[in-house]
Amino acid sequence: MPGAVKLGFGSLAMPSKGVLVAFTGEGLRLGEATRAALGPARDLFVRASRAEHFTGKSGSTLDIVAPAGLKVSRLIFIGTGKDAPKPHDLIKLGGIAMGKVPASATEASIWADLPAGLMTPAQAASVALGSALRAYRFDRYKTKRKEGDEEPAQARITVGVADTAGTRRAWHAQLAVADGVMLARDLANEPANVLYPEEFARRARDLKKLGIGIEILDPKAMGKLGMNALLGVGQGSARESRLVVMRWNGKKGGQPLAFIGKGVTFDTGGISIKPAAGMEDMKGDMAGAACVVGLMHALAARKAKVDAVGVIGLVENMPDGNAQRPGDVVISMSGQTIEIVNTDAEGRLVLADLLHYVNKRFKPKFMINLATLTGAIVVALGNEHAGLFSNDDKLAERLAQAGEETGEKVWRMPLAAEYDKLIDSKIADVKNTGGRSAGSITAAQFLQRFVDKTPWAHLDIAGTGMGSPQTDINKSWGSGWGVRLLDRLVRENYEG
């Protein structure tokens, strides 16, 4: 758990101190356990609701300080709306509840009770997941706090449930996912002078303690494999590139699922250098690789019954005298030649070699790659959906369903041969960008050339993986987007 927050489970008994958070439906409908525990204080709840015009609409809150007749210091009600909350709604409610706990609080209770009845263990664990994700913060480099800065929460959070043992079992899997998301956030939030390719690879190696097999390839090893597209991106940096292979064998047999991440630990744009404004955000150009590491952590920590491989390419794109130039031609691992027309279209070069390598070596059931690939996807979809490109309808449908269930939504974009003319090169097999028109699509068309016939999906997370909107479950710059989405995809469709 992040910071000093400690999360556990207990009964639905009225606490003797601290903060109490309860849920109410629209029309001030309370669950039976909540009604019984409040006793005469229900009248206080009704009077305060009328005074504040609180009706229990979804996401609304009512805060009663020092409630008369109760020993708790604060009584907070959160509205759940008219309808029964969906799984993602429960996670959101947990985040709202955690956000309402004052930073000065040392103890807080959240009651897993709804107007329709007591939450199941799985539902209560979802509320706990939302609370854990909301509590995350990245402040390890702050040595001083200004007046008014929110202090890290110090509270011991107890989720009151009907079935303590059952909820703890359900929480085991959710905790694995929470830790995976927070690992991905940590990686995305780190500054590039701390998290460069070699250090990123070292942190990925820590997954060994969960039973994940780790291989790390250096430039010499990648050179022997012919990964000239990947290596070309990093040749202008003083930091050596790395490739990390992570293998989880939870089923031990059959084709593995493959997850592939772009890991540009800092992207200046190379010789085609980016504008100075906002370039500091390019420390997050490895959010795809961060997600893959977080996902592999989640799968191993919850002992997922599946074989999975995670592969990340780690490079730093810098403009020195040895840097790749516009006009250069490189021979990728697949043998296809690539004309470099813009060195800032570097992520697809990394992924081109990774996709071919994974396909050739592991012969996976499917490949899903994640990358903060194009600014064009932000223009198209903003920060609410990731762009989904796929050559397989079933895989695309399953990803879309997992997105609806987790709130990490995707929107399918087109792939069509007609777009290939934009990336056809006059002197090589393909050029690495087709210009401004259909920028996200031509990037996906480029990647598809290195996939062959394997079911594949490309997730462009430029709008969701870094600098994404602040939500009820994320107040961090690095969102850890994709870990929950892909864990749900695996759990619902491929385990067993």
Residue 197 amino acid letter: P
How many angstroms separate the CA atoms of 353 and 333, rounded?
6
Q: Of 411, 242, 402, which is closest to residue 314 (Cα–Cα)?
A: 242
Neighbour-count burial of 42, counting CB atoms closer than 10 A to its CB (0-12 exposed, 13-18 middle, 19+ buried): middle
Sign of the CA dihedral 315, 244, 310, 420?
positive
Strands 257-267 and 307-317: parallel
Q: Of 387, 385, 357, 200, which is closest to residue 293 (Cα–Cα)?
A: 200
Cα separations in angstroms, 423 against 417, 442, 449: 11, 7, 11
Q: Which position among 262, 348, 409, 449 bears the catalytic label?
A: 348
Neighbour-count burial of 164, counting CB atoms closer than 10 A to its CB (0-12 exposed, 13-18 middle, 19+ buried): middle
Residue 297 amino acid letter: H
Q: According to the 3-state scheme, what is the secondary structure of 311-327? A: EEEEEEECCCCCCCCCC
Q: According to the 3-state scheme, what is the secondary structure of 339-373? A: ECCCCCCCHHHHHHHHHHHHHHHHCCCEEEEEECC
How many angstroms separate the CA atoms of 157 and 99, rounded?
12
Q: Which position among 35, 137, 203, 274 bears the catalytic label?
A: 274
Cα 191–chain centre separation:
18
Type and span of the H or E element at 198: helix 197-205
How many angstroms separate the CA atoms of 18 and 27, rounded?
27
How many angstroms separate the CA atoms of 177 and 213, rounded?
19
How many angstroms separate the CA atoms of 424 and 126, rounded?
48
Catalytic annotation present for 348: yes
Taking phi over 0 as left and psi of -120 to 50 as alpha, with beta for the rest, 452 belongs to left
Q: Give the angle subtended at the CA of 440 by the CAs of 401 and 349, to the nearest 5°.
A: 105
| Contact in structure between 457 and 413 (CB atoms under 8 Å) | no
Catalytic annotation present for 144: no
Q: Which residues neighbour 393 within 8 Å (Cβ) at sequence distance 6 or greater?
A: none
Residues facing residue 156 across a β-bridge: 6, 107
Enzyme catalytic residues? 274, 348
